[in-house]
Structure formats: C-alpha cells, structure tokens
C-alpha cells in the first residue's frame, strides 16, 4: 500500500471478507481458535495506520457489520456458522475498541473518516468491556474535544454524545474525571449554547438535553472548572430567566417554547440548581442571579393554564420540583429568603393546601407521588422548606414565623393531617405530621410564651401520637419517626411550662409515657427517661409515677430497676448470679471501659468515665429514682433491692471512677508529692469502702429474704400438716361409722355413749310449774343426728297461761288440736330406722 495504490482495492476486498461470519466444523472450534481469531480481528485496528481513506472506511464498515450479522444463504458442506456474537466477543478479547480510539488522532482532519470511526465506536461502546478499554485510551476527553468541530450534518455531535452516554453508563466516575478539564468544559459549553440558540429541530433539542445531563454530572464534581468556565452562571441564568423576567446578555434572544423537550430542559435546570446548592463555591452565584425569587414564583395556588402555557400536569410537576429545590437552596440564602417574605408565601400556600379550593393534583411526577386528587404533595414539600430553614435555629426566621401565627396554623394543619390519616394512613401523611411536630419543637423550644400558645390545643393533639399502637412501629411507613418527633415535641413544647405540664398530667400523659417505656423499645429509653426526669420538676409528677401500674401490677420502680439490669447486662458490668457487686474497685465499670487505656487529655475534654454517662441510660434512671426517693418503693423483690442499693450509690461510684482516671493520668505524667499521693489513696479507699458497704448491704438483703422464705416454707408445711391431720380425723370418723353400720353391738355401745353424753349435757335445774317435753324419739336405733322431724303438742289445760298458752283465740283457730307434721327433707342414713 505504501509503494503502489493498486493494492488498495484487493485489500478492501480482503477486509470485506473479514466482515462475513466464520465457519466451524466442531462446537469446540470457537474456543480452540479464539486466540487466533482475536488477533486477526485486532489486526483490523492496526490497519487504520494505512494512509488510505478507502481502507479506513472499509475497516469501520467491517466492524459495524459485526453487529448486523446475517447468516449465509448457502452453507458449506460439513461446516456451520459461528454464533452471532462470536465476532463481537473476539473484538473485545483483541482490544479493537482501544485501537480505534487511538486511531482518532489519524483521522482528526478528515471528517468522513472520523464519522465512520465514531460510528464503529458507537457500536463497540454498547459493551462494558469495550467501554473500559476505550477509557484506557482517554476516549471521553478525546470525544468531548470533537464536539464543537465543524460538521454540517450534525452527526459528529450526535455520535460523540451517544458514545459518551454509553461510557457514562458503564464507567461513570472515570468519564466525569476525564471530562473535568477546562478544555472539555469549554467545548461542552460551546456546543450546548449553539444547540440552545440555533437548534430548532426536535432532534437538536433532544441532543441539547443530553449534553445538559452530562454537564449536570460534571457540576457534581468539585474538581470540574464549571464556575471558572462560566458554565455554572449560564445554567443558573437559564433556570431563572423565565420567572424573574430580568434581561441578561447570556440569554439574549432566547425563547423557550412549551414543547416536551423544553419542559424536560426546565426540569434538568432545576436539578442543576439542586446540585450546585451542595457546592459552597456556587452560593454567591445563586444569590446574585435571583434563584430565590425564581423558585418562590411557584409557591402560589395553582391556576388554570392558558392556551399558550404549560399543561396542568406539567405546571404541577414544575411547581413541586421548584419547591423541592427550594428546600435545598433556602438555608444557603437565608437573607434572600427573608427579604422575599418567603415565610409569608409558604404559610399562605399551606393555608390553601388545607382549604376547600376545588383543586385536584395530577400526581403523575416523582415529586407528586401520593398527591393525586388532593394537595398533599404541595403540603409535603412546603413543610420540607420550612423544616430546612427552621433547622438553622435562626432567631430572625423563627420570630418571623411566630409573629405570623405559625404555631396556631401548624396545629390546624397537624389536626387536618391526623384526620386524613384516620381515613387512610400512608408514608406521605406520616411525613407531614412528623415535619409539623419537628417545626413546633424548634419554634417552642426555650420560649415560655410560645409553649403557652401551644398548650391550648397542642396537648390534646399530641396525646394520640403517644398512644400509638406499638405494632405500627414495625410497619415501615414511618411510625417510628413520627413517634420520635412526638416525644421531641412533648419535650420541647410542654416540659418547662406549668400550664402545659398540668394539662398533660390531667390527661394521664405520664401513664402513657410509662406504658411506652414498658414496651422495652431500646431506642425509646433515653428520650422517655429524659422527659420523665424533666417532668419531675413539677411536684405533681411523682405521685403519677408512683400510682402507675403496668402488666401484672408492675410498679414504675420495678420497671426502672429492670431497665437498669438490662443496661448493665448489655454493657458487660460484672455481677454475680444474685446481682451483687463483684469488683469493689470499679463497681459500675463496663467491659469497654475496663479495656480503655489511660490517655492523658486536656482539662477541657471530658474523660471516658464522663462520656459514658451520656452513652447509656443509667444516669437518667438514677436521677428519676432520686426524684421518687429510694425508701418505701412498692412492688420490689429482694433482687430489686439488691440492684437498688447499687443505683442509690451510683453517683459515689461515678465520682470514684473519675478520681481513678485522674490518678492514672497523673502517674503517666509524673509522681505526685507525698501529701497528694496519700490523699489520692484515701479517696480510692473511700470508693472501695463504699463498694464493700453496698455489697454487705446486698448480702443482708438476700439473707433476710432467705430467712423470710424459710419462715413462709415452715408456715406452708404447718398448713399441710393440719390438712393431713384433718383428713385423718375424717377418715377415722368414717371408719367408726362403717363399724357401727356393720356391727350391731358396736352400734348399741355407741348409742349408750351418746345418750350418756346427751344426759350429761342437760341442765340440772328443773322447770317450776312447767310442762316437760321429751326430746327423745322413741324407737330410734341410730347414733347420727336425726332428720328434720318436729312434733308440736298443745299445752295441758291445767297449765293454761303457761309458755305455750294462746291468749287470743282469733290468732289460730283450733289451736288445741293436736297437729303432727312430719317433713323429711334429708335422706335417712343407711343405719337409720324408717320413720313414719
């Protein structure tokens, strides 16, 4: 080829043959000949060095044919074609893509050849392996520099951008790094502006949006010189010029239509602002180019679209997108936020969201999720904006909100959302409620007047959140977050204001908190205990805590001691099987604390013993029991009293730990003087003595309990013996009864004894002038008590006026007649003689 051009045509024919499918005899031939085939295909890339346009174009056509492989019409006898992807795989194995990228330098000034190479690379870049090979040859930066080349057909930009997109999908981070040079950013900016200003075709607008996505990815890379190139400022101006209507030379003569491509452009520009808000260097540009007024333009009630305007669904999507971006931008531009009266706009907009305006959201977009047929999406993102600015704890912002009645309005919205949630509970409504509770927490914190404003309605609204069904905490919708926000709101808006606290106590709020604590949800312990400790400053609280009873009549003191034991178990504090102190020197030290080496620290830095206080709940439990008192606590077992002895001396043990750390740090640095050393030893001894004293007390408690258990056991045995003795008496009585029944002599003997006993029991005094009635039943041959048989006889005439005399004849006519009534109610025993 270098000597004679006559070889050009035959070489092209040979290259054309390489585009045809290979034939194989065996199935294993594809693997057996893979090395030879991959090397032969790699030679195609090396042939790009031949200085012939015809050869180079034919090579590119051959590569393109790999992806449009057609089976031959006639098959050779004994052969069959290879699989359709065989050549593509061999091209990957031979590194053809990398060679073609390098060959771009050879065809830099030949447009036709360059376009063919790009077409071949466009096909090759569909593979992740080829993309990685191309990146080795700096494909991204090479292609980006070609974007603004002269090409009347427009294929250069199209094919280059397509290859860049394929590279981004497979190796995004490396592509962004290669495009982050100043030359690449300038080239990308120039071609983007050209398409923006002069591209009127549908195809041009699509290509413009594709390049904007690449620019958006570059904006996320701090190393990319987007600001230095002026690209950042251009994008910000493009995002805001239709809303602020301020003339800018950068967009002079630019008109956006309401086509779908321009709608996508608008959304992409909003996204760019969102990414730029994360770059501190771009904040000044956002402030100078009226981003805040442009975004606030959409914070207004939706209106019916005009004829030449966005559709209702498109406007809603842009509105929600703008408000979502505002949540990221507002905290950065707080002065602009206040000067634009953004708080007022947002509160008015929220008022519209809960109003009766007949607006029905489309809910088609990402940001419109859950907002179809309602205004929940608008409410959700507006509250996110308020949350982002209130989180700054800026006094000016919070005062501005409260002066406009935000607390009352937020409570109304919370009530509205809570009612909606009763109809249908979803993640969006839960997020709305959680955000409102958070806003109220920040606004009312450390301000007594605002807490009083909250207390009039807020406590009633807050109670149902604390009464939440525990099963919902595992639903995954966000009930956990909502409960935390409710507890935070309780802590910030109620605690510290006696009016609100009394209202909460009247509604049995302390009982609800203890019920929640009894669920043993570890992530709630710290917050609930902290609230209870703060509440105990109110003198009415302790009686509520003492009155509370949980399951199986559990008391608050018992619950707190159980939590203490559970916490110590997780911390790895050493205790014996009865819960007594084992290590007298470090009675409450955790396993991690014992492993910690002594590190000398400045006086301003808290030591490990101090830091440990905030990392577990023991200090809060100790504080709460201090408020309740350590004496006369109901519902405690001996094991509880053993633990209570440790809790009562928690602060003494903690002081001992701090002194121990101090001694260790001193020994690391220098030796204390003798008086100081003696003082330190004495302090250490006091701490150890306290541990021994508590251990002794615990032993006494256990011994007392053991003695009590023995006494109770003896009582139980005595009771059992009495029961057995009674059973023996009953059994003996039954045996005597059987004896009397079966032995007539024994029955007569028993009868005589019974009669003697009856006779002995009778009074010896005789009745004067009175009738004597026999109490014996004649003919009775039993020794058991008789049945209910009564014989009533009249009083003899000579004793009229006696005890049985009837003075009034009308009371009972025929009283002198002998009446004999026999009523047998109980069955006669087996040894009884029948009675008539």
CA–CA separation, 676 and 672 (whole Å): 6
Angle of helix 128-136 relative to helix 139-146, nearest 10 degrees, comes to: 80
Q: Which helix (H) or strand (E) holds 736?
A: helix 674-742
CA–CA separation, 357 and 334 (whole Å): 31
User: Is the distance from CB of 522 to CB of 530 less than 8 angstroms?
Assistant: no
Give the residue, 608 or 786, on which the prediction is more confident. 608
Task: Name the phi and psi angles at 789, rounded to 5.
Answer: -115, 120
- Give the model's pLDDT for residue 805: 47
Tens of pLDDT along 332-380? 999 999 999 999 999 999 999 888 877 766 667 777 777 777 888 899 9
| Residue 549 pLDDT greater than 80, yes or no | yes
| Residue 794 pLDDT grade (very low, low, confident, very high; cuts 50, 70, 90) | low
- Give the model's pLDDT for residue 829: 37
| Residue 755 pLDDT grade (very low, low, confident, very high; cuts 50, 70, 90) | confident
| Residue 836 pLDDT greater than 60, yes or no | no
- Give the model's pLDDT for residue 767: 58
User: Is the distance from CB of 104 to CB of 66 less than 8 angstroms?
Assistant: no
In terms of phi and psi (left: phi > 0; alpha: psi -120 to 50; beta: otherwise), the region of 361 is: beta
* SS3 call for 141: helix
| Residue 315 pLDDT greater than 50, yes or no | yes
Q: For the chain, give the number of residues.
A: 836
User: Is the distance from CB of 261 to CB of 209 less than 8 angstroms?
Assistant: yes
Give the residue, 90 or 357, on which the prediction is more confident. 90
- Give the model's pLDDT for residue 351: 92
* SS3 call for 819: strand
- Give the model's pLDDT for residue 77: 80
Give the residue, 617 or 252, on which the prediction is more confident. 617
User: Is the distance from CB of 308 to CB of 257 less than 8 angstroms?
Assistant: no
Tens of pLDDT along 26-41? 888 888 888 998 998 8
CA–CA separation, 703 and 465 (whole Å): 46
- Give the model's pLDDT for residue 783: 61
Average pLDDT of span 417-427: 86
- Give the model's pLDDT for residue 823: 35
Least confident of 33-37, 135-139, 663-667, 733-737: 663-667
- Give the model's pLDDT for residue 776: 64
Tens of pLDDT along 431-487? 999 999 999 999 999 889 999 999 888 999 999 999 888 888 887 788 889 999 999
List, in sequence order, the alpha helices (H) in 367-519: 376-390, 395-403, 406-423, 427-444, 448-466, 479-493, 498-506, 509-517
Average pLDDT of span 802-819: 43
CA–CA separation, 562 and 547 (whole Å): 18
Q: Which helix (H) or strand (E) holds 24?
A: strand 23-24
- Give the model's pLDDT for residue 305: 58
Measured CA to CA in angstroms, residue 150 lies from 25, 191, 563 at distances of: 50, 11, 76
| Percent helix / strand / coil, the chain, rounded to 5 | 65, 0, 35
CA–CA separation, 47 and 103 (whole Å): 10
Average pLDDT of span 770-793: 61
- Give the model's pLDDT for residue 815: 39
CA–CA separation, 381 and 730 (whole Å): 84
* SS3 call for 125: coil
| Residue 330 pLDDT grade (very low, low, confident, very high; cuts 50, 70, 90) | very high
Tens of pLDDT along 104-134? 888 888 889 999 999 999 999 998 999 999 9
Average pLDDT of span 640-650: 91
Q: What is the 3-state secondary structure (H, E, C) of 56-123?
A: HHHHHHHHHHHHHCCCCCCCCCCCEECCCCHHHHHHHHHCHHHHHHHHHHCCCCCHHHHHHHHHHHHH
| Residue 78 pLDDT greater than 60, yes or no | yes
What angle is formed at CA 254 by the lines to CA 250 and CA 258, rounded to 5 degrees? 135
Average pLDDT of span 604-618: 83
449-458 burial, b if ≥16 CB within 10 A, otherwise e? ebbebbbeeb
Average pLDDT of span 493-503: 91
Measured CA to CA in angstroms, residue 587 lies from 501, 568, 687, 699 at distances of: 37, 11, 9, 15
248-261 burial, b if ≥16 CB within 10 A, otherwise e? beebeeeeeeeeeb
Tens of pLDDT along 142-165? 999 888 888 888 888 899 999 999
Beta carbons within 8 Å of 788's beta carbon, 6+ residues apart:
823, 824, 825, 826
- What mean pLDDT is reported for the chain? 85
| Residue 709 pLDDT grade (very low, low, confident, very high; cuts 50, 70, 90) | confident
The closest of 260, 266, 175, 157 to 211, measured between CA atoms, is 157
User: Is the distance from CB of 422 to CB of 472 less than 8 angstroms?
Assistant: no
């Amino acid at each position: 080829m270098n000597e004679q051009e006559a070889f050009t045509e035959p070489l092209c024919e040979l290259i054309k043959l390489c585009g045809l499918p290979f034939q194989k005899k065996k199935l294993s031939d594809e693997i057996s000949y893979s090395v030879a085939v991959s090397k032969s295909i790699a030679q195609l890339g090396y042939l790009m060095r031949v200085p012939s346009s015809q050869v180079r174009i034919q090579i590119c056509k051959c590569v393109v044919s790999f992806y449009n492989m057609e089976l031959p019409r006639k098959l050779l006898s004994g052969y069959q074609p290879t699989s359709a992807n065989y050549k593509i795989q061999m091209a990957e194995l031979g590194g053809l893509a990398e060679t073609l990228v390098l060959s771009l330098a050879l065809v830099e000034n030949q447009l036709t050849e360059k376009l063919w190479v790009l077409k071949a690379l466009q096909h090759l870049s569909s593979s992740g392996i080829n993309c990685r090979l191309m990146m080795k040859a700096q494909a991204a930066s090479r292609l980006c520099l070609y974007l603004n080349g002269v090409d009347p057909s427009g294929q250069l930009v199209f094919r280059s951008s397509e290859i860049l997109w394929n590279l981004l999908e497979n190796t995004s981070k490396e592509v962004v790094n290669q495009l982050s040079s100043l030359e690449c950013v300038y080239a990308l900016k120039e071609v983007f502006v050209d398409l923006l200003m002069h591209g009127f075709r549908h195809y041009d607008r699509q290509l413009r949006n594709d390049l904007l996505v690449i620019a958006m990815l570059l904006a996320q890379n701090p190393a990319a010189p987007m600001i230095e190139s002026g690209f950042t400022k251009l994008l910000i101006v493009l995002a805001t010029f239709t809303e602020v209507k301020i003339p800018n030379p950068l967009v002079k003569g630019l008109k956006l239509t309401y086509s779908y491509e321009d709608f996508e452009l608008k959304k992409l520009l909003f996204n760019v602002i969102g990414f730029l808000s994360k770059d501190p260097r771009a904040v000044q540009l956002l402030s100078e180019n009226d981003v805040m007024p442009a975004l606030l333009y959409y914070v207004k009630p939706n209106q019916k679209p005009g004829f030449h305007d966005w559709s209702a669904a498109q406007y809603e999507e842009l509105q929600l997108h703008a408000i979502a971006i505002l949540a990221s931008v507002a905290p950065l531009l707080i002065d602009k936020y206040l000067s634009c009266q953004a708080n007022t706009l947002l509160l008015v907009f929220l008022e519209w969201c809960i109003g009766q305006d007949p607006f029905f959201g489309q809910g088609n977009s990402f940001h419109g999720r859950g907002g179809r047929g309602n205004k929940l999406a608008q409410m959700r993102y507006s509250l996110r904006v308020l949350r982002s600015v209130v989180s700054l704890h800026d006094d000016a912002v919070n005062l501005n909100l409260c002066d406009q009645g935000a607390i009352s309005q937020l409570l109304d919205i919370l009530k509205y959302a809570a009612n909606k949630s009763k109809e249908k509970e979803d993640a969006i409504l839960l997020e709305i409620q959680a955000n409102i509770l958070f806003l109220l927490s920040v606004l009312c914190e450390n301000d007594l007047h605002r807490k009083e404003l909250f207390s009039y309605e807020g406590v009633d609204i807050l109670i149902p959140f604390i009464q939440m069904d525990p099963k919902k905490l595992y639903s995954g919708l966000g009930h956990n977050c909502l409960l935390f926000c409710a507890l935070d709101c309780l802590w910030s808006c109620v605690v510290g204001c006696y009016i609100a606290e009394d209202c909460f106590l009247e509604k049995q709020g302390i009982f609800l908190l203890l019920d929640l604590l009894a669920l043993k949800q570890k992530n709630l312990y710290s917050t609930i205990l902290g609230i209870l400790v703060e509440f105990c400053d109110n003198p009415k609280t302790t009686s509520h805590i003492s009155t509370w009873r949980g399951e199986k009549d559990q008391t608050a003191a018992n619950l707190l001691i159980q939590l203490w034991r559970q916490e110590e178990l997780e911390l790895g504090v050493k205790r014996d099987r009865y819960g007594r102190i084992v290590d007298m020197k470090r009675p409450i030290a955790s396993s991690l604390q014992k492993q910690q080496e002594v590190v000398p620290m400045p006086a301003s830095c808290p030591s490990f013993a101090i830091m440990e206080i905030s990392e577990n709940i023991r200090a809060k439990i100790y504080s709460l029991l201090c408020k309740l008192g350590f004496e006369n606590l109901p519902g405690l077992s001996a094991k509880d009293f053993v633990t209570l002895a440790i809790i009562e001396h928690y602060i003494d043990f903690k002081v001992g730990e701090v002194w121990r750390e101090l001694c260790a740090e001193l020994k690391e640095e220098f030796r204390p003087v003798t008086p100081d050393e003696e003082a330190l030893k004495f302090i250490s001894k006091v701490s150890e003595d306290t541990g021994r004293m508590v251990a002794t007390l615990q032993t006494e408690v256990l011994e007392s309990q053991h003695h009590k258990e023995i006494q109770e056991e003896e009582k139980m045995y005595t009771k059992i013996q009495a029961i057995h003795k009674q059973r023996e008496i009953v059994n003996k009585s039954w045996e005597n009864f059987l004896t009397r029944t079966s032995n007539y002599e024994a029955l007569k003997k028993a009868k005589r004894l019974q009669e003697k006993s009856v006779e002995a029991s009778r009074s010896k005094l005789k009745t004067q002038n009175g009738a004597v009635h026999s109490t014996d039943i004649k003919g009775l041959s039993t020794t058991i008590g008789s049945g209910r048989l009564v014989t009533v006889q009249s009083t003899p005439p000579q004793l009229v006026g006696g005890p049985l005399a009837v003075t009034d004849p009308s009371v009972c006519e025929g009283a002198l007649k002998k009446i004999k009534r026999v009523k047998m109610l109980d069955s006669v025993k087996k040894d009884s003689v029948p009675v008539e």
